[in-house]
Amino acid sequence: MINIVDRVNMVNISEIISQKSIKIYFQVILSPMESTSFSVEGFVRGIDPETGDIISPYLLFQAAKDANLQTELEKLCIESTFKRFKNFYDTNPKAILYVNIGKSFFNEIIETNFISKAAKQVGIPRRNIVIDISNLMIDNEDNVLAQKLVSYLRKKGFYISIDDIGKNYNNIDRIIYFNPDVIKINHQMLNKLKNTGYRNLMIDYITEIAHKMGILVISTGVESKEDIISAMASGAQMIQGYYVSELVEFEYTEILEIINNFDRSPIYDIVEAQYQGSERQAITNVVAFINKLRSKLNNFNIDHLKEFAISLLQKHSFIESGYLLNIDGTQISDSFVNKSTFLDRNKELFNLYPKGTSHVDEDLFIRLQHELLSDWITRPFRSKLTNEVCVSAAFKLKLDDGLYYIAVLNIDYTKFDFNKEKINLSIK
């Protein structure tokens, strides 16, 4: 039997790097409540130039370390991942890429600005890239350098994810220390805890901290429907694992197939159990609200839209966020957010897109293309922004320029009291 040292020595790392003999696989990171936006994480495998055999990441990077070629390998992996992801981005500009970087590459990134240059050369906006840093990879003596890297990348416009939170049941304090945009909780490892009560308390504690800090929570290691239900019940907003997808050289259509075929019924059951009151009554009240709002906005001066939106959110805390589309489905306003702790740095991660974003693939826009429909309300979903149960309401209106638009509001069920006989709809 060949030992691990001999296997590493058999890897011709210099030839692999010079020939760019690697493959990029992706795994889908799914939002169980959505079907129009998606994320993927890139994974690298080496290819033996002579035999074509797959080389594991451990052997690949260990061989690079032994040959002092870690920087060259990291650069090849990042460039190749960006190039493969560009095909997804060109088709769907809302797509998000998660890419891992090794500790040995931290200083290189800071000193040479390599990741920024690589993203620019390929043509991917930095807001579409999340840099994944493994919690287990960082020792206490690395904290200062890691903090320096996080600060540097954030100033450059990248998102930061801390991976493997909860794995080996330690280093939860790094959520506070690094204040990332995303944390990944290793659900599979936490499931190995024999004391389920302790496990559930730990997961609830981690997610509660994250939500209060405006951090997106992804549950990784999801391998069964039960894992998904447990992850969503504990507050995770996205899921990743072999139950969702294998590591594959995906084409865009294959990713869409995974998203569209995902069974969302157990998640809807969890979400719908969280809100009080009749769903029919809930819809009736939301319709009443948007009809009142539409009457205020018809022939409204579009130049005063921002001022009005800010005032609207201040007076009605149940409106979580909103934006305005033109009749072609293009967003013509910024995304307005009703959350004081929310940071502008991570808008895209929470589906709060900038002016100019196309929404033609979203159900809300598609539904309102029917000439007999003036508004549309979704079924309840778990908001990424607040983790509360929300609905999205879209409605047509005509402004003072004589053109028709579509306003979209995300309404928080927990604050919009459907049991009251009268809801305050006063809007000045």
Residue spans in the chain of domains classed CATH 3.30.450.20: 279-412
Q: Are 327 and 406 in contact (CB under 8 A)?
A: yes
Q: Which two tokens stand for residue 11?
A: 């890897």
Query: Which tens digits make up the pLDDT trace of 31-40?
Result: 877 766 789 9
127 three-class SS: helix
Instruction: Name residue 158's amino acid.
Output: F
d(Cα 204, Cα 206) in Å, to the nearest integer?
6
Q: Is 205 left (phi over 0), alpha (psi -120 to 50) or beta?
A: alpha
Q: What is the per-residue pLDDT for 421?
A: 39
Give me the CATH topology for the region 279-412.
Answer: Beta-Lactamase (3.30.450)
Instruction: Name residue 76's amino acid.
Output: L
Q: Are 97 and 81 in contact (CB under 8 A)?
A: yes
d(Cα 78, Cα 100) in Å, to the nearest integer?
8
Residues in CB range of 216: below 8 A, 6 or more apart: 181, 182, 183, 210, 237, 238, 346, 349, 350, 384
Q: What is the per-residue pLDDT for 48?
A: 92
Q: What is the per-residue pLDDT for 197?
A: 65
Q: What is the per-residue pLDDT for 40?
A: 95
Q: Which residues of the chain have pLDDT under 70?
A: 1-6, 35-36, 136, 166-172, 187-200, 270-282, 340-346, 417-428
Residue spans in the chain of domains classed CATH 3.20.20.450: 4-272
Sequential DSSP letters for 318-346: TEEEEEEEETTSBB-SPPEE--TT--GGG
Residues in CB range of 3: below 8 A, 6 or more apart: none
Query: Which tens digits make up the pLDDT trace of 12-51?
Result: 899 999 999 999 999 999 887 776 678 999 999 999 998 9
Q: What is the per-residue pLDDT for 210?
A: 83
Distance of CA 34 to the CA centre of its chain: 11
Q: What is the per-residue pLDDT for 331?
A: 95
Q: Which two tokens stand for residue 360?
A: 């033609």
Whole-model pTM? 0.86
Dihedral over Cα of 282, 284, 287, 291: its sign = negative
The architecture CATH gives domain 4-272:
Alpha-Beta Barrel (3.20)
Q: What is the per-residue pLDDT for 73?
A: 95
239 three-class SS: strand
d(Cα 186, Cα 220) in Å, to the nearest integer?
5
d(Cα 93, Cα 190) in Å, to the nearest integer?
34
